[in-house]
């Protein structure tokens, strides 16, 4: 049964991520020239299709995955730079492999490559009924000379006479920073999610399948039904699939905490009983005044 899943997230250097992690999705070996780390996922299985789609003004050499994402790592200087946008899509199980490839390619060309983004596509299918696609998109548009463009530009604040306003404290003219594209607008997320549902339904109808998907929640659709999950049950074969599995026995956290607290309580109880059973000898202040500099008063010592 076809299900809807379209997850859109940002790959950020500030969160310890790398654009060269595209090597995982494509099951390739790529060295990140930014930090020298080699990502080798050549043993990964289940990658049934991969390709890179470029806009008209992108350099041809960016059709090479290693060249493309190392170029992204190089142009981004900030330690918290946004490196790429990743879209994860659950593919209709009703469609064949070739149909799903055409579906993803058409969706990506129409909504991302046509807008000026480079798109790195990897389709995974291990045969377990969970075909899905990873799409990694660049965050900068290209200039006419095929170089990377700016993500944002300065718009100077003008006075009533149309002159720039100087800020003596910052020693520069006052300005606002404006995004050069609308790709980060929240409305684009809704647009892209809706577009995925529409094109999936078109392909399903074209193949004479009765199933349909909808990107809206039950509440927005006017359906009085409680959702059974987060919509990613079939899609997510492993939540963080690029991380190694923990194959060891893992006890529930609550059980571990409970056992620890019980042990601590028993130990404290034993200490109290031990101290209560010890005889005490009382000493006066005068006994220790000289050795303690007059700072010790009446107290008891267990003997």
**261 pLDDT more than 90:** no
To the nearest whole number, what is the mean pLDDT of the chain?
A: 81
**277 pLDDT more than 70:** no
- Which residues of the chain does CATH 3.30.930.30 include? 6-141+183-221
pLDDT band at 146 (very low <50, low <70, confident <90, very high): very high
Report pLDDT digits (tens) over 76-90: 999 999 999 999 999
Catalytic choice (4, 24, 62, 107): 24
Nearest to 212 by CA among 200, 194, 229: 200
The reported pLDDT for the residue numbered 272 is 66
Nearest to 232 by CA among 1, 24, 3, 2: 3
24 counts as catalytic: yes
CA angle 264–267–269, rounded 5-degree value = 110
Report pLDDT digits (tens) over 34-43: 999 999 999 9
For the entire predicted model, the pTM comes to 0.70
Assigned fold of 6-141+183-221 = BirA Bifunctional Protein; domain 2 (3.30.930)
Poorest-pLDDT segment among 235-244, 247-256, 270-279: 235-244
Poorest-pLDDT segment among 83-97, 121-135, 147-161: 147-161
**133 pLDDT more than 70:** yes
SS (HEC) of the chain: CCCCCEEEEEEEHHHCCCHHHHHHHHCCEEECCCCCCEEECCCCCCEEEEEEECCCCCCHHHHCHHHHHHHHHHHCCCCCCEEEEEEEEECCCCCCHHHHHHHHHHHHHHHCHHHCCCEEEEEECCCCCCCEEEEEECCCCECCCCCECCCEEEEECECCCCCECEECCCCEECEEEEECCCCCCHHHHHHHHHHHHHHHHHHHHHCCCCCCCCCCCHHHHCCCCCCCCCCCCCCCCCCCCCCCCCCCCCCCHHHHHHHHHHHHHHHHHHHHHHHHCCCEEEECHHHHCCCCCCCCCCEEEEC
Average pLDDT over residues 267-296: 54
Report pLDDT digits (tens) over 11-54: 999 998 999 878 889 999 999 999 999 999 999 999 999 999 99
Report pLDDT digits (tens) over 224-233: 666 665 444 4
Buried/exposed 199-211: b ≥16 CB within 10 Å, e otherwise: bbbebbeeeeeee
Report pLDDT digits (tens) over 177-231: 888 888 988 899 999 999 999 999 999 999 999 999 988 776 677 666 666 654 4
pLDDT band at 259 (very low <50, low <70, confident <90, very high): low
CA distances from 26 to 40, 181, 242, 255, 280 (A): 10, 28, 12, 40, 74
The reported pLDDT for the residue numbered 230 is 45
The reported pLDDT for the residue numbered 288 is 44
The reported pLDDT for the residue numbered 228 is 61
């Amino acid at each position: 049964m076809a299900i809807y899943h379209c997850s859109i997230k940002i790959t950020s250097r500030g969160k310890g991520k790398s654009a060269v992690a595209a090597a995982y999705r494509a099951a390739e070996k790529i060295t990140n020239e930014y930090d020298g780390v080699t990502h080798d996922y050549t043993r990964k299985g289940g990658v049934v299709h991969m390709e890179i789609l470029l806009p008209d003004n992108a350099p041809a050499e960016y059709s090479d995955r290693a060249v493309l994402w190392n170029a992204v790592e190089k142009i981004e200087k900030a330690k918290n730079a946004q490196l790429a946008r990743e879209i994860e899509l659950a593919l209709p199980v009703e469609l064949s492999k070739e149909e799903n490839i055409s579906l993803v390619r058409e969706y990506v060309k129409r909504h991302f490559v046509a807008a000026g983004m480079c798109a790195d596509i990897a389709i995974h299918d291990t045969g377990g009924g969970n075909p899905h696609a990873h799409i990694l998109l660049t965050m900068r548009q290209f200039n006419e000379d095929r170089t990377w463009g700016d993500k944002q530009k300065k718009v100077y604040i003008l006075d009533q006479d149309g002159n720039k306003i100087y800020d003596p404290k910052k020693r520069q003219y006052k300005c606002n920073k404006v995004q050069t594209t609308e790709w980060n607008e929240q409305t684009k997320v809704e647009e892209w999610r809706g577009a995925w549902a529409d094109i999936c339904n078109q392909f399903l109808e074209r193949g004479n399948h009765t199933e349909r998907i909808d990107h809206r929640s039950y509440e927005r659709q006017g359906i009085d039904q409680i959702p059974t999950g987060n919509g990613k049950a079939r899609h997510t074969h492993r939540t963080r699939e690029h991380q190694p599995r923990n194959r060891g026995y893992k006890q529930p956290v609550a059980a571990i905490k409970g056992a620890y607290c019980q042990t601590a309580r028993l130990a404290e109880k034993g200490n109290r009983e031990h101290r209560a059973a010890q005889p005490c000898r009382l000493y006066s202040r005068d006994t220790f005044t000289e050795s303690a500099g007059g700072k010790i008063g009446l107290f008891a010592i267990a003997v």
